[in-house]
Amino acid sequence: NDLERLATAVRDADTAVAFTGAGISAPSGVPTFRGDDGVWEQFDQGQFAYGRFQRDPEGFWADRVDLQRAMFDGDFEPNAAHEALAAMGRDGHLEAVLTQNTDGLHGDAAAAVGDGDAGDADGDPAATAADEPTVLELHGNSQRVRCTDCGKRKDGDPIFERAADGELPPTCECGGVFKPDVVLFGEQLPGAVLQRSRSLARESDAFLAIGSSLVVEPAASLPRLAASTGGTVGIVNLESTPCDDVADAVVREDVTEALPRLRELIVE
Ligand code: OAD
C-alpha cells in the first residue's frame, strides 16, 4: 500500500525530507488556518499583514493578541506525529524537517527525543543532537518576538502579556517596536531558509508533505520541485490537495496514525 511504498522510499533514500503544515499540529490542539475550524474563518487575514503592522502597529498588536490566544491558548505539546519525525531523524532516516508552522513543536519534539534515556536506534545512549534532523522554520516562530530596531529576539509570552495588559505596541529597551518573529503576509520569507528548502526538495529522494493544504507558496511548489528531480513524493493529509497529482503515494489519514506507523515500517 501507499504507506509501505513511502516507508521503502524513505529507508532507501540518501536524502529524505519532511515538509509540514498546520495539520500536523492540529492533534496538539493548535487550530489550522483553513477549513471550517480554521483561524481564517474567525479572523481577517488582511489585519495581520506586514503593511498593517507598519501603518498601525497599535491596532495590529491588539488583534495579534487575540489571534495568539485563539491559536496557542493553554499548554500544547508535540504529538505522536512530531515525535515520529523526530525519532526518524534520530534514527538517521530523515535529513530535515521543513515547516510552515510557527508553534515550535518540531523543535520541542527533537529536544525531547534528544533528552530521552532510550538512546538511539542502536541503543547508543550517547547519541546526541548531532543525529537530529535540521528543523527549518519557513514562517518563523510565534513563541518569539523580534525588535524591529536592534534586532534582538525575546521569548514571546511576557511580551504578549504586556500587550494584553495594554502596552500597544510593546517596545524593546532600545525603544524599537517588537514584532512577532514570524513572516507576515506581504513579507519576504527568510532568503537563506527558502533557498535551503528548495535545494533540499531538489536533492531529496523521498519528500513527504504532511498536513499542509499546499496552496500557498512555497508549499505549493516544493512537492513539484522534488518530483521534477525524480524524488518519490508522498502526501499525508485528511483531504485531497492540489499536489496529489504529482504524488507517488497519498495517505489520507490522521497524521498521528500515519506517521508512527510509517516509522515502524521503516525500522522493521
Ligand atoms: P492549512 O490550514 O491551510 O491546511 C491544513 C491542512 O492539514 C489541511 O489540508 C487539512 O486537511 C490537513 N489536516 C488537518 N488536520 C489533520 C490531521 N489530523 N491529519 C492529517 N491532515 C490534517 O495550513 P497550512 O497548509 O500549514 O501562513 O497553511 C500554510 C500557511 O497559510 C500557514 O503557514 C500560514 C497560513 O496563512 C502564514 O501565517 C504566513
Q: What is the ipTM for the molecules in this complex?
A: 0.99
Nearest atom within ligand 1 for CA of residue 35: 2
Give me the pLDDT at residue 49, please: 97
Ligand 1, CB cutoff 6 Å, lining residues: 21-23, 26-27, 32-35, 38, 100, 139, 183, 211-213, 216, 219, 237-239, 254-255
DSSP 60-116: HHHHHHHHHHHHH-S-----HHHHHHHHHHHTT--SEEEE---S-HHHHHHHHHHH-
With beta carbons less than 8 A apart as the criterion, state whether 13 and 206 touch.
Answer: yes
Query: 210 C-alpha vs ligand 1 centroid, how far in Å?
Result: 9
- Report the predicted TM-score, pTM, of the whole model to 2 decimal places: 0.93
The C-alpha cell of 63 is what?
A: 488583534
Q: Which residue has the cell 504524488?
A: 247
List strands edge to edge, sheet with 153-155.
Answer: 153-155, 140-147, 178-182
74 falls in which pLDDT band (50, 70, 90)? confident
> What are 44-69's pLDDT values in tens digits?
999 999 999 999 999 999 999 999 99
Compute, in angstroms, the gap from residue 8 CA to the centroid of ligand 1. Answer: 26
> What is the tens place of the pLDDT at every residue in 210-255?
999 999 999 999 999 999 999 999 999 999 999 999 999 999 999 9
